[in-house]
Amino acid sequence: MAINYQFNKTSLQALEKDLKMRQRTLPTLQSKESALRLEVKRAKDEIKALDEEVDRRIKDYDQMLALWGEFDTSLIHVDDVRMSIKKIAGVRVPVLEEVVYSTKEFSIFSSPKWFADGFNQLKAIADVGIRQEFVRRKVELLDYARKKTTQKVNLFEKVQIPGFQDAIRKIKRFMEDEENLSKSSQKIVKSKREAEARMAEELAKKAAIAEGKEVQA
């Protein structure tokens, strides 16, 4: 990143202000990056656990699933998915609160005896599936925020802060050189004036001596 600046005190002060701001902000960004990295890992672990839960439920009920060809899936329906918003490391993510189901009445006498278990199994699997989608969305949002934060950390740490420091050094060196040159010039001018004054004083003395001799003659 190219840093625009001029070799003067105003530009130096502006750069120093920008540098201090970034140096103060960098630790906060680094902490946020670490927190997001941890939350992404937790969410990915949660997805893995949910995947395993689905597999376990399906394996546990393989025999009953074979009978679900007779099950009327229209008897159960997802009416609503209630959610809230939660901030994790400063990132707004959706959180599943409740899945609302509607069910049609059926006769327990004319229906297979496993129908009631079928309801519970469908709800359980649907719950896990919906939770998976929420957690996947959480991973997407958190990972995106983590990547953006990492980019900003790298920008501050590897580009902007060193760039501002380098620009400040160059301006200070230039101003020091200018100051030294100015002092040297002042010394030269002063020395020249002193030499001219001494010369004028000597000429005046010589003139006075010459004038005195003329008077005596």
Residue 13 lies in a domain: no
pLDDT by residue (tens digit) across 176-191?
877 777 676 677 767 6
Long-range contacts of 49-52 (CB under 8 A, 24+ apart): 50/128, 50/131, 50/132, 50/135, 51/132
Count of CB atoms within 10 A of residue 64's CB? 14
pTM recorded for the entire structure: 0.71
As for how many domains the chain has, the answer is 1
Residue 205 lies in a domain: no
pLDDT mean over 71-87: 85
* CB-based contacts of 39, cutoff 8 Å, min separation 6: 88, 89, 142
Residue 206 lies in a domain: no
> Which has the closest alpha carbon to 138: 49, 38, 40?
40
> Which has the closest alpha carbon to 155: 14, 4, 33, 11?
33
Residue 53 lies in a domain: yes
Domain containing residue 64: CATH number? 1.10.287.3240
Residue 1 lies in a domain: no
Residue 111 lies in a domain: yes
Matching residue, tokens 């919906």: 130
The C-alpha atoms of residue 160 and residue 155 are separated, in whole angstroms, by: 6
Provide the residue range defining the domain that includes 102.
20-168
pLDDT by residue (tens digit) across 135-161?
999 999 999 999 999 999 999 999 999
